[in-house]
Structure 1
């Protein structure tokens, strides 16, 4: 694949992971990212099972991630008076290895920035496929033509919209929203509180504060922080426990991010010379498999391109076929009702499940199994020692 030019949209997890492999195959890689720099912070992400560990090892990342891992901690579920109701084990929320999303993104960027071209503060505005490549226009930069384009730009992917059609045709709202709010130090103990249709989790190593609430699809600007603050105040008005205190603090928060819990329902991950990777192709918000799937998906996509000697038509078809099994869980799961049950009875039922050691062991085994592909082939990729 020497001298093959590839544009990757998105400098989060999947994009730099793919850049890592494609550079080693001899590709000339450009990564474009709408943000002005690698995004810090964010919620912790986790990896689980032998497939995730194998790919991280092949990338030479496993030890570095372990050195930066947060370590999954138990989360105590409390009632309005602060009394303990149940404990959500750290190994369930944090997988085998847990790391802050921003730390992982920084590590991936650090590993690829000298070998690949990164363009921050810009975004793709059009894609036109020609017999020889894909003509791409940008918000800021001059137009360019690439041999291949990969959308690794999240669940609201611009590449998917441009190549596959409007977001409404591919993304399904699942009835809940979530929010990440940086409210500073809220204590070392990780606490979670529920009322019917809403949840808040604060404290511990997974700051910022984390909110989940039931709501029909909302219309708002995802880049308007003031509007997002008001959405949170509206949906948590009249709450118990520490909710009045937290809502009063939102105005001073250094960052606020509200988005829908939704699922990508594409029927294909590739079209012509354009492919989708990670959440852009098989995202399921808060499903617990996003970063792992992005890392494995990048390995498979690069591996299939290597195995097909750069023939994208063969490689993309095999990539889709290989990922179907691993992405099956994302096509079904919905974290909203699990995190923010709609009735007091359902909250009690879920808490009871957390208090059952047998049930938790079963759920942990199922989670590892759904993240594992025992047939993942040893692709002809140059690995990092």
Structure 2
């Protein structure tokens, strides 16, 4: 029997992209989302690499560019607000020949949902609470809706995936803390640096202000072992942890903490990776952060879009053999994910150096990045290979474009 009905848990980035492609391959997708309504705005994320091609094939790339944040620079500042380092994001994009776009996560999700709204059923304010598989399909029990049967179930419900827990076991077996916590909160007042992200570091701490497109966003990062008793939905606990971690800070930190105390849109979570030996179990498979969260520093949204297209293509190639389809999807997509997971620690070290010496070395290194970027861009235009510069004062070669924001997909 050809599998035609597919339940997708999660209406973030991966879920709607998968729904779009499944519908075009003749499947009937249903997307269930825990939230009562779609989110708007949110942390900035990137659409880059293979995700650009996916977006172009979906016909949404122009809309993504219209929603873009258009950040030019990442400026590092000291406690008095003086610039002590800069990464020219435009130069790095030119050097990489990139057609990427950065935009608020909520806007990306909304555009992707709009692309498939006529071809998929969306159910908001509900979630999967039980799964029972047999030879004919998956019997799904919902928190609010009546039970239903589907041929396949795909968990695209983020870092704290309920689908993964139901089909693959406890979260603690698969989610691995990377020694960092992140918080974001929107700001009520516009900022005076409409094209620049500002970041202030102290050892093991980072605070940044992103101008956004409609509303600025503040982000906090701090190094810490896994915190006993931490829960990603306990907002009052989050406020206390942030104030403890950043009290006494200079620059804009006191005012930003006041915003944290008053905010009703505070996001706080551990920076984590998800690693599983397999992404499928019978008729249930995982996608995006639920399967392989790279962490804050790993192009999670782009990987989610690319993985969704790969999974839909695999199911179309093997419509009567979900096992073969899932193996094909996993073999192809792991080749993109695993290098990103391996590099995540390097990006964390750049953005949140653990020592004062590390901060100074990072700031000094930024003076070489624009030169390296310009050289590679000129070399590409002339057709002449340009060698990478020698190691910088920090003992490392200039790194890749640094992330300016974003967060793992969350349910």
Please list, as runs of the form range in 1=range in 2, the aligned pairs for 1:1-385 lying within 5 A after superposition. 4-49=4-49, 51-91=50-90, 96-189=100-193, 190-205=197-212, 207-218=216-227, 219-332=229-342, 333-334=344-345, 335-356=347-368, 357-358=370-371
State whether residues 272 and 295 of structure 2, in contact with CA within 8 Å, keep that contact through their aligned partners in structure 1.
Answer: yes
Determine the C-alpha separation between the residues in 2 that align with 1:70 and 1:64.
12
Deviations 1:180-202 (A, max 9, x none): 11222251323110000110001
- Change beyond 3 A, Cα 1:157–1:359: farther
Task: Give the deviation of 1:364 after TM superposition.
Answer: 9.1
Contact kept? 1:10, 1:152, Cα under 8 Å: yes
Q: Which residue matches 1:373?
A: none
CA RMSD of aligned residues (A): 2.2
- Rounded to whole Å, the distance in 1 between the matches of 2:284 and 2:367 is 46
* Structure 2 unaligned residues grouped into runs of 5+: 377-387, 389-396, 403-411
Q: Which moved more, 1:238-247 or 1:14-23?
A: 238-247
Q: State the shift of 1:179 in Å.
A: 0.5
Residue aligned with 1:205, SS: coil
Find the counterpart in structure 1 of residue 385 from structure 2. Answer: none
Counterpart secondary structure, 2:126 = coil
Report the CA distance shift for 1:224/1:311 in structure 2 as closer, same or farther (over 3 A): same
Aligned with 2:212: secondary structure? helix
**Deviation at 1:310?**
4.0
Q: CA deviation at 1:131?
A: 0.8
Deviates more, 1:140-149 or 1:51-60: 51-60
Task: Calculate the TM-score normalised by the size of structure 1.
Answer: 0.89
Deviations 1:67-124 (A, max 9, x none): 2212132121111111110012234599721111111111111222222111111111
* In structure 2, distance between residues paired with 1:310 and 1:344: 58
Alpha-carbon distance in 1 for matches of 2:243, 2:400: 37
C-alpha distance after superposition, 1:271-297 (max 9, x if no partner)? 111111111111122123111111110
Distance 2:400 2:236 in 1: 40
Partner Cα distance (1:124, 1:188) in 2: 44
State the TM-score, normalized to the length of structure 2.
0.84
Stretch deviating more after TM superposition (164-173 or 357-366) = 357-366
Q: Quick one: distance in 2 between partners of 1:95 and 1:282?
A: 25
SS at match of 1:180: strand
Structure 1 residues 365, 87: CA separation in 2 closer, same or farther (over 3 Å shift)? closer
Cα distance in 2 for residues equivalent to 1:127 and 1:153: 15
Q: Aligned pair in 2 of structure 1 residues 160, 168: CA closer, same or farther (>3 Å)? A: same
Question: In structure 2, the residue corresponding to 1:233 is in which secondary structure?
Answer: helix
CA contact (8 A) 1:72 1:95 kept: no
The worse-fitting range, judged by mean Cα deviation, of 128-137 and 10-19 is 128-137
Distance change in 2, residues 1:221/1:168 (3 Å): closer
C-alpha separation between the residues in 2 aligned to 1:115 and 1:296? 20
Q: Which runs of 5+ in 1 are unaligned?
A: 369-385
Superposed displacement of residue 312, structure 1:
0.9
Following TM superposition, by how much is the alpha carbon of 1:203 offset from its aligned partner in structure 2, in angstroms? Answer: 4.2
